[in-house]
């Protein structure tokens, strides 16, 4: 079959979680189908990056992405529309034309809309099996329910109402929706039409490639790998540096924290207590840097989805200390595969126990590697391929199952 994949993120290089997910799902689909990719790109990709994707996809094309401008004319007019303002303001006529042209000439059987931004373009493709991939609702929903002041409550409530109504209206034209975790699935079922199946396709990790990364862990080195330009990462580090890291330094003064990732546009001068903190900026080989660290800290309090940084650290044998939010949606055993603590005191104690007990670190390292195997992209990709293929041709899938004796009655 032919699959038209519409992506908000140009998926190479794989330098953020969304790109990693899209890249691996593309590879999985391409194992069984012919795939064409139409993608937005925040920056023009290099010829080498395009070539990598052309080795997977029969067609690759992109459109420059223009971010949401809250004060633009279109965004202001969006206050009067039932459609979320961000979708109105960022809608691209160029992308719409490319989608119409490719679908008209190429005649896809399946169209995958990766993330909310791509739903309007998938609706332009007629007579296909539509998949809404990675619908994430936790962030806008939590912004609404956690708003403490009446004006913010009303504003966030309006945003949530418009988004919910939009998804009920548009996803009735889709045949499948996927989310990254069970909590996201529960929330999605409150919004998405009951006629549309909602399947969990978790985020994953390339276990095989990370097994080849061999680095001697450096004692007293903690790491947080996340761009501070993303609000949830900035909040996590503000929380850690203000409430947790000083407690650690009191008892382990040689401890160093590496913060990797882009800081462009982030007000890092507002981060407190930056003693023993190193901002590395963008790192070309992030896995080598994580692999050489004693532990990864994930003190997240905001955001949705699941954290690829946690899975990658586990696959590298690097123990993780996280808040409940930091491992939300991941099936990990506390105190065996990951350490979980939500108060500053307990988070500091858990981190100090790792810093001072090599045997504890070794046990968590081995258990974490085993846990990461459950999230290998190969298995996740096969599952995604299976549910999409069975959705398109359920009768043929059922016949094949009967013939192989695998149909559960």
- pLDDT tens per residue across all 409 residues of the chain: 999 999 999 999 998 889 999 999 999 999 999 999 999 999 999 999 999 999 999 999 999 999 999 899 998 988 889 999 999 999 999 999 999 999 999 999 999 999 999 999 999 999 999 999 999 999 999 999 999 899 999 999 999 999 999 999 999 999 999 999 999 999 999 999 999 999 999 999 999 999 888 889 999 999 999 889 888 999 999 999 999 999 999 999 999 999 998 888 889 999 998 899 999 988 888 999 999 999 999 999 988 776 899 999 999 999 999 999 999 989 999 999 999 999 999 999 999 999 999 999 999 999 999 999 999 999 999 999 999 999 887 544 334 333 333 333 2
181: left (phi over 0), alpha (psi -120 to 50) or beta: beta
Looking at residue 394, its pLDDT comes to: 56
Asked if residue 13 has a cis previous peptide bond (ω within 30° of 0), the answer is yes
Q: How many CB atoms lie within 10 A of CB 58?
A: 14
Looking at residue 406, its pLDDT comes to: 37
Q: Across the strands, what pairs with 110?
A: 3, 129
Looking at residue 287, its pLDDT comes to: 92
pTM to 2 decimal places: 0.88
Looking at residue 409, its pLDDT comes to: 25
Give the span between the Cα atoms of 362 and 322, in whole angstroms.
Answer: 18
Q: What are the pLDDT digits (tens) for 356-371?
A: 999 999 999 999 999 9
Q: Which helix (H) or strand (E) holds 382?
A: helix 377-392
Query: CB burial class (10 A; 0-12, 13-18, 19+) of residue 243?
Result: middle
Sheet harboring 176-179: ordered strands across?
A: 59-64, 34-41, 2-7, 110-114, 129-133, 176-179, 198-200
Instruction: Quote the DSSP letter at residue 126.
Output: -
Looking at residue 408, its pLDDT comes to: 33
Torsion of CA 284, 285, 286, 291, to 10 degrees: -160
Q: What are the pLDDT digits (tens) for 140-165?
A: 999 999 998 999 999 999 999 999 99
């Amino acid at each position: 079959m032919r699959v038209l994949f519409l992506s908000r993120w140009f998926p190479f290089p794989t330098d953020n979680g969304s790109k990693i997910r899209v890249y691996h799902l593309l590879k999985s689909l391409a194992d069984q189908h012919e795939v064409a990719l139409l993608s937005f790109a925040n920056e023009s990709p290099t010829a080498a990056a395009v070539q990598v994707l052309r080795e997977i996809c029969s067609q690759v094309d992109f459109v420059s992405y223009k971010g949401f401008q809250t004060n633009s004319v279109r965004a202001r007019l969006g206050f009067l529309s039932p459609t979320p303002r961000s979708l109105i303001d960022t809608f691209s006529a160029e992308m719409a034309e490319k989608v119409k042209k490719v679908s008209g000439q190429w005649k896809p059987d399946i169209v995958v809309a990766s993330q909310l931004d791509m739903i309007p373009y998938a609706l332009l493709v007629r007579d296909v099996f539509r998949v809404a991939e990675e619908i994430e609702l936790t962030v806008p929903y939590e912004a609404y329910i956690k708003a403490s002041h009446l004006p913010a409550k009303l504003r966030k409530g309006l945003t949530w109402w418009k988004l919910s109504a939009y998804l009920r209206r548009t996803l009735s034209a889709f045949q499948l929706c996927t989310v990254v975790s069970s909590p996201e699935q529960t929330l999605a079922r409150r919004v998405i039409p009951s006629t549309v199946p909602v399947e969990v396709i978790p985020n994953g990790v390339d276990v095989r490639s990370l097994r080849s990364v061999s680095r001697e862990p450096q004692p007293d080195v903690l790491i947080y790998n996340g761009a501070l330009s993303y609000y949830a990462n900035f909040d996590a580090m503000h929380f850690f540096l203000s409430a947790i890291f000083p407690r650690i330094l009191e008892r382990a003064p040689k401890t160093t924290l590496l913060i990797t990732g882009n800081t462009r546009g982030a007000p890092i001068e507002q981060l407190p207590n930056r003693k023993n903190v190193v901002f590395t900026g963008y790192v070309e080989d992030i896995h080598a840097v994580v692999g050489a660290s004693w532990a990864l800290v994930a003190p997240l309090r905001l955001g949705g989805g699941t954290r690829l940084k946690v899975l990658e650290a586990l696959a590298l044998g690097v123990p993780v200390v996280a808040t409940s939010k930091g491992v939300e949606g991941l099936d990990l055993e506390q105190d065996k595969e990951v350490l979980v603590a939500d108060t500053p005191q307990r988070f500091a104690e858990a981190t100090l126990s790792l810093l001072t007990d090599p045997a504890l670190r070794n046990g968590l390292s081995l258990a974490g590697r085993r846990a990461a195997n459950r999230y290998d992209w190969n298995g996740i990709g096969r599952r995604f391929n299976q549910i999409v293929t069975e959705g398109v041709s359920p009768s043929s899938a059922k016949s094949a199952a009967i013939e192989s004796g695998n149909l559960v009655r």
